[in-house]
Every structure is written in structure tokens, then in C-alpha cells.
Amino acid sequence: MGTESNIKLLDENGLRLDGRNEMELRPIKIETNVLERADGSAFIEWGGNKIIVSVYGPREAYPKHTQDIDKAVIKARYNMAAFSVDERKRPGPDRRSVEISKVISEALSSAVMVEQFPRTQVDVFIEVIQADAGTRIAGLTAASVALAAAGIPMRDMVVGCTAGKIEGKIVLDLSKEEDNFGQADLPMAVLSRSGEVVLVQMDGDLSVEEFNQATDMILDATKRIAQIQRDALVARYSVETQGGE
């Protein structure tokens, strides 16, 4: 969350800088199996975010001490390309990407049937090639699709969205300006069928009422985003079927 400034994030009609109302998502598009060498992959465009996810595994966990005798270990690695932001980002891991990789790994572990593949690892590489706020949630949402496209058994899909507060108003799916100059940012992800919350982080301050309003908005939006995930997977199967004829 950036510092508050004089920048106006809402116009006189309560509309946002990009013309959205408070409940509106930015456009979202997901495509699967965009990479030949991965076991599964997905490309998501969410507003100005462009993110590629590739999945490899399950394969024997290496180094060996990382193996879990009871289950597969999901190793997500979130990375922002140097050219993904306005000013060149220093390449390589930093505290933020290590934290995001950890919370995404944990969220995905709740969805994958990890107990079916003891001693293995599943690698999930999340490459942000253009960043426009909400990348952790967009990356996680695409990662879930890439895992399913890889044929990895899952009990549920992970789907996420953010909400936040700008000029005292709770709005869905913050844009870059809203993330920078708003008052709070709440990324959240759930398992789409069970509704179990698998990621919540908060930057800034929300009252209990505002928090409840934001989570209601997010939960409603995740239903719409889950449908986009399903459509992407169905499109992949229909392409495969046509290709096989």
C-alpha cells in the first residue's frame, strides 16, 4: 500500500479511473497448455497482468531431505521478470517473492491430493511477465488451472481475487493505481467447491465491517472466476478431442 496522495481514484459518479464500478472485475482470460515441454501450463491475462505458469511432476523430490514420506511437496516459485514493471526490477528472488512463493505453495497443497504421491515434488513456476497489481492471486488462480491441465489429481480448484479500500470505499480487484494510492489491499483465495479459505493477506487497515464487505465481494467474484477456469480446461479438452479425430 502506497502513501495516500491527492490522486483522485473515484470520479463524481463513484466510478474508478478505468471506468469500473466497485463490484467489477478487470477482464480475465485463461489459456491452457501454452508450453510444449511442461506437464501442464497456463497463461493468464488479468487486467494488465500477464503471467505464465508451468507445472512439472510429480517427480522424485530432490534434494532428498526435502522428501516427505507421507505426501508430495508442492514447490511453487513466483518470479517477476525484470521487464515486468515500469522501472526495471532487480532480477532474482527477494523477500517479497520468497513470501509469495510460500503462501502460493501452501494454498495449492490444500487442493492437490498430495497424499497420493509420497516422496515426490510438484514444481510450479509462476513467471510474471507484465505486472499490474494482484499478481499473486492471478498467478495462484492460473497455477491451479496448470495443475489440472497437467492431470494432477486435485480435490478442488484454488481461485482467488483481491478487494481493497480506496477513498473510504470497498472495491473489488484493485488496479495498480488503486493498489499504490489506496488505503487497504486484501488478497484472498478459496477452494472453489468447499469454500475453504486457503490464502488471506492484508496490507493497510480495514474495520471488521469493511473486512466482511470485502470478503463477501471476493467470494462472489471467485464464483465468476472459477467459471473462467473451468471454461479454459474444457476448451483444452475439446481442442484435444478435435485434434485426435
Check residue 85 for interaction with ligand ADP (CB under 6 A): yes
Q: Which of 229, 226, 141, 126 is nearest to 187 (CA)?
A: 141
Check residue 89 for interaction with ligand ADP (CB under 6 A): yes
Give residues with Cβ within 8 angstroms of 11, minimum separation 6: none
CA 53 to CA 45: how far, in whole Å? 12
State the number of binding residues for ligand ADP (CB under 6 A).
13
CA 59 to CA 227: how far, in whole Å? 30
Q: Is 230 helix (H, G, I), strand (E, B) or coil?
A: helix
5 CA to centre of own chain: 28
User: In the stretch 108-147, what mask flags binding to ligand ADP with x, by CB under 6 A?
Assistant: -----------------------xxxxxx-----------
Of 46 and 211, the one with the shorter C-beta distance to ligand ADP is 46
Of 2 and 118, the one with the shorter C-beta distance to ligand ADP is 2
Taking the complex as a whole, how short is the minimal distance between the CB of residue 177 and ligand ADP, in angstroms?
A: 10
Check residue 25 for interaction with ligand ADP (CB under 6 A): no
Of 67 and 201, the one with the shorter C-beta distance to ligand ADP is 201
Q: Which of 160, 132, 134, 166 is nearest to 22 (CA)?
A: 166
Check residue 75 for interaction with ligand ADP (CB under 6 A): no
Check residue 176 for interaction with ligand ADP (CB under 6 A): yes
Taking the complex as a whole, how short is the minimal distance between the CB of residue 119 and ligand ADP, in angstroms?
A: 32
Taking the complex as a whole, how short is the minimal distance between the CB of residue 146 and ligand ADP, in angstroms?
A: 18
Of 121 and 135, the one with the shorter C-beta distance to ligand ADP is 135
Of 129 and 235, the one with the shorter C-beta distance to ligand ADP is 129
Taking the complex as a whole, how short is the minimal distance between the CB of residue 42 and ligand ADP, in angstroms?
A: 17
Give residues with Cβ within 8 angstroms of 167, minimum separation 6: 8, 9, 10, 182, 183
For residues 111, 113, 31 and 172, what is the CA-based torsion angle, rounded to 10 degrees? 0
Of 114 and 140, the one with the shorter C-beta distance to ligand ADP is 140
SS3 sequence of 42-77: EEEEECCEEEEEEEEEEEECCCHHHCCCCCCEEEEE
Check residue 165 for interaction with ligand ADP (CB under 6 A): no
Helix spans in the chain (H): 95-111, 135-149, 176-181, 208-244
Taking the complex as a whole, how short is the minimal distance between the CB of residue 224 and ligand ADP, in angstroms?
A: 19
Of 138 and 150, the one with the shorter C-beta distance to ligand ADP is 138
What does the binding site for ligand ADP look like in residue numbers (CB under 6 A)?
85, 89, 96, 131-136, 176, 179, 185, 187
